[in-house]
Amino acid sequence: MARKKEYIEKEVIERAMNLFWRNGFETTSMQMLEKEMGINKFSIYSSFGSKNGVFVESLKCYKEKLNQLIEKLKASTKGVDAIKEYFYDFIEFSKETELRKGCLITNTANEMRADSDQQIKEVLSNFMNHLEEVFASMLRQDTSKDEKTIKEQTDYLIVSMFGLSSATRLFNKIQLDNYINIIFKNL
Amino acid sequence: MARKKEYIEKEVIERAMNLFWRNGFETTSMQMLEKEMGINKFSIYSSFGSKNGVFVESLKCYKEKLNQLIEKLKASTKGVDAIKEYFYDFIEFSKETELRKGCLITNTANEMRADSDQQIKEVLSNFMNHLEEVFASMLRQDTSKDEKTIKEQTDYLIVSMFGLSSATRLFNKIQLDNYINIIFKNL
DNA sequence: CTAATAGCTAAACGATTGTTTAGATAACAT
DNA sequence: ATGTTATCTAAACAATCGTTTAGCTATTAG
């Protein structure tokens, strides 16, 4: 028929994702996206519809990457110790030489306001629910725990993930280690 | 000499602070500030110099309010239990009927980027250091703890505060209670 | 080779950003 | 009462925001 795309959508979205990860949604402009994605505004809009569209795809891309860690977690039989390993895996995953990025999901949750985009909110809450289930099923590997304890500890771990995400952006390695060590003393 | 100001700077800053607290720095525009503070852009600029200036004063105002909780904490002799009380006091403090605001300090820390304003960064790190010292001195009330343990547990509590701040914005009362209960299980 | 068409470049869109300025208003010292 | 001057209102500033459009380019089908 006609001309072919000179870029691969998966590739340019990965670049966009890294930019959003570093700078957040509000601070990232279309101008910055053009430069980082290496394609024109027209191409961005024809592929993804809007800045929000680029962001939603970026979130999906991030979730896919994070899902590799979660799959490893799910495959383990080490119960709560596997969750501790996941925390360390996450630190390694979110580390960057120049800048501490934290977790794109929790960064976005922190950036969220009452009137923020509904679609993005749903992506976030779906992810949180999924992670919650995985944590719970890992905790249940210790059959001595009753469901009330499972619920309590799951809530504790989810909030701890938020603390850890902020921590990877703001604090040093020693402080992170101290944090993680004590988190799992309590379980 | 001439005309007098028709507003009190402390009062309009408190209104600005509440707006920043609800919406964050980036999302809050001068237009919104005008409306919320009830004064003209000209007045804002002549009193505070810039949007950044308004924000820095808002942070100071927030710190003053939070400092009331911290003073109560410092006055206590209940050691780690006093810190737990501080966590609950903070939840009460940051609660709002319509919207969950979290902590302005940690919200701002989460919004911070590599190229963000230096003055704001300093206000944040000063506060973090102060809170760290207070937590440490409360933990030292238990004389059986060595300094290594004090350092570990202080780092843990600081990061936990970040988790709690995000949590007050995103999660419900039950989840918060579960979180706080386990945080203090074996400190 | 030619016609059709999707993707490209680049300029422009209106709206809003933070900031400044010109002129009207009002309170003080004399 | 009057002149001085700080504060007010309101309009305008350049820059940037996310988004759209017009026209050139290049690929493919016939």
B186 confidence band (pLDDT: 50, 70, 90): confident
Q: What is the mean pLDDT of residues A54-70?
A: 97
Question: A84, A157 in Cβ contact below 8 A?
Answer: no
Contact A54, A33 (CB under 8 A): yes
Question: Distance between CA atoms of A82 and A148, rounded to whole angstroms?
Answer: 21
pLDDT for the residue numbered B99: 55
Boundaries of domain holding A107: 9-185
Whether A97 shows a pLDDT value over 70: the answer reads no
Q: Is pLDDT of B140 > 70? A: yes
Can you say how many angstroms the Cα of residue A138 is from the centroid of all Cα atoms in its chain? Answer: 19
Task: Work out the number of other CB atoms within 10 angstroms of the CB of residue B41.
Answer: 12
Residue entry with tokens 């006091």: B89
For residue B47, being part of any structural domain is answered with: yes
Q: Which two tokens stand for residue B147?
A: 């300094």
State how far residue A47 is from chain B, nearest Cα, in angstroms. Answer: 27
Summarised one tens digit per residue, pLDDT across range B53-102 is 999 999 999 999 999 999 999 999 999 999 999 999 999 998 865 558 89
Q: Is the pLDDT of residue B103 over 80?
A: yes
Cβ proximity of B18 and B58 under 8 Å: no
Neighbours of A116 (CB within 10 A): 15
The set of residues, in sequence order, having a beta carbon less than 8 Å from that of A68 and lying 6+ positions away, is: none
Least confident range from A26-30, A118-122, B32-36, B114-118: namely B114-118
User: Using an 8 Å Cβ cutoff, are A161 and A134 in contact?
Assistant: no
Cβ partners under 8 Å of residue A95, min gap 6: A168
Q: What percent of chain A has pLDDT over 90?
A: 88
Residue B22 domain-assigned? Answer: yes
Asked if the structure places residue A2 within a domain, the reply is no
Residue A186: per-residue pLDDT: 85
Flag whether A4 is in a domain. no
Q: Tell me, yes or no, whether A67 lies in a domain.
A: yes
Contact yes or no for B59/B104 (Cβ under 8 A):
yes
Work out the angle at residue A138's Cα, subtended by the Cα atoms of residues A63 and B155, and round it to the nearest 5 degrees. 75
pLDDT for res B136: 98
- Give A77: exposed, middle or buried? Use CB within 10 Å, 0-12, 13-18, 19+: exposed
Residues A123-178 have pLDDT tens digits of 999 999 999 999 999 999 999 999 999 999 999 999 999 999 999 988 989 999 99
How many beta-carbon pairs below 8 A join chains A and B?
A: 115
Residue A58 lies in a domain: yes
Where residue B73 sits, what CATH number does that domain have?
Answer: 1.10.357.10
Task: Give the CA-to-C1' distance from A107 to C11 in angstroms.
Answer: 35
List alpha helices for chain B, DSSP H. 9-23, 30-37, 41-48, 51-75, 80-94, 104-111, 118-139, 147-170, 173-183
* DSSP structure class, residue A7: S
Cα distance between the two ends of chain B: 61
Which positions in chain B touch A27 (Cβ < 8 Å)? 26, 113
B4 part of a folded domain: no
Q: What confidence category does residue A1 fall into, taking pLDDT thresholds of 50, 70 and 90?
A: low
Best CA proximity match to A15, nearest among A32, A46, A36: A36
Q: What is the identity of the amino acid at A34?
A: E
Question: Do the Cβ atoms of A167 and B162 come within 8 Å?
Answer: yes
The pLDDT value recorded for residue B26 is 96
pTM of the model: 0.94
Protein residue nearest nucleotide C25, by CA to C1': B3
% of chain A at pLDDT higher than 70: 97
Residue A99: band (very low, low, confident or very high) from pLDDT cuts 50, 70, 90: low
Number of domains in chain B: 1
> B172 CA to chain A: closest CA distance, Å?
10
Where b means 16+ CB within 10 Å and e means fewer, B12-28 reads bbbbbbbbbbbbbbebb
Residue A129 contacts B, CB cutoff 8 Å: no
Contacts of A147 in chain B (CB under 8 A): none
For residue B138, the model assigns a pLDDT of 98
Lowest-confidence pick of A4-13, A49-58, A91-100? A91-100
Structure tokens at A152: 């309590």
